[in-house]
Amino acid sequence: MGLFKGIRAVHQHWTIFIYPILFDLIGLTLGLYFIGFFGQAFVSVKLILEMGLPSISHISNIPLFANNLFFLTGPVEKTAFLAVILIIMLLFGAFLQGGYIRSLYRIVKKEEYSFVQFIKDGKKYWLQFILLEIIVQLLRIGLTALFLLFLPYIGAFISLVTFIVLRIVFIYLEFTIVIDNVNIPDALKLSRKYLFKSFLPSLTVVIIMYIVTSSLSLVLHIGWSFPMVICVLFLYAYLMTLIQSVLMCILWHVRETKA
């Protein structure tokens, strides 16, 4: 299958790493503007539930980055200006998501890859990813509240396990929305089929992904400091792009086999 050719390909098109790094640097800068650097070292791990555009906020339990709704849980004053900034960043993230995924697919397939095409793809899929974000957030709130209501002692744990299982089952969801150019319901069906048709290689990469990202999350929290945040920010963008390039190779192979 040549799974690792994706890793070689992204190194030949290193500009793909710039987009997640830029997004996080902007989020960090805004976070520093609104609340400054805060938090202290402690033992913690955050398991990722997001695919596509990598962001250090996905593995941080400290809400320092003003590029996602988790930032609102931090010691920040809730103002209209903050709301506007967060909306802009969420829209920007959705825009980058479509461009990033399609670009990664083009790179793996050794097709033409350019900034102009990135912009076109971002404009094409941003609304889909905003809608997906809304659905996911509502699902998280609803299911977590339901589990806590009926299982107050273990509800939070069961909720986390449920979301991790759903994440694995639909590991190709974001990829499928872009690559197959379908709506969210159709992407749910297709992404599940893609996983089951490539179960062993996909599951292997997913396990590696969780080991790598959990380790980075642990290191981030144990060594929490500004230099550590910067180091992990760059490293996470790099490693997650490599891991997702392998997943993209698997997806490409499954789609070509189907054809």
Reported as a single tens digit per residue, the pLDDT across 29-42 is: 999 999 999 999 99
Q: What is the pLDDT of residues 228-239, one digit of tens each?
A: 999 999 999 999
The per-residue pLDDT for 98 is 95
Q: Of all helices (H) and strands (E), which one includes residue 32?
A: helix 18-35
Supply angle C-alpha 88, 27, 102, rounded to 5: 70
Which is nearest to 244 in space by CA: 69, 61, 74, 100? 100
Contact (CB, 8 A) for 246 and 203: no
The per-residue pLDDT for 151 is 84
Residue 114 — very low, low, confident or very high, per pLDDT cuts 50/70/90?
Answer: confident
- Whole-prediction pTM value? 0.93
CB atoms within 10 A of CB 165: 10
Model confidence at 59: pLDDT above 70: yes
Burial 43-82 (b: 16+ CB within 10 A, else e): eebbebebbbbbbbbbbbbbbbbbbbebbeebebeeeeeb
19: left (phi over 0), alpha (psi -120 to 50) or beta: alpha
Residue 2 — very low, low, confident or very high, per pLDDT cuts 50/70/90?
Answer: low
Q: What is the pLDDT of residues 185-219, one digit of tens each?
A: 999 999 999 999 999 999 999 999 999 999 999 99
Contact (CB, 8 A) for 113 and 107: yes
Residue 225 — very low, low, confident or very high, per pLDDT cuts 50/70/90?
Answer: very high
Domain ranges of the chain: 5-258
Residue 55 — very low, low, confident or very high, per pLDDT cuts 50/70/90?
Answer: very high
Residue 256 — very low, low, confident or very high, per pLDDT cuts 50/70/90?
Answer: confident
Residue 258 — very low, low, confident or very high, per pLDDT cuts 50/70/90?
Answer: low
The per-residue pLDDT for 5 is 76
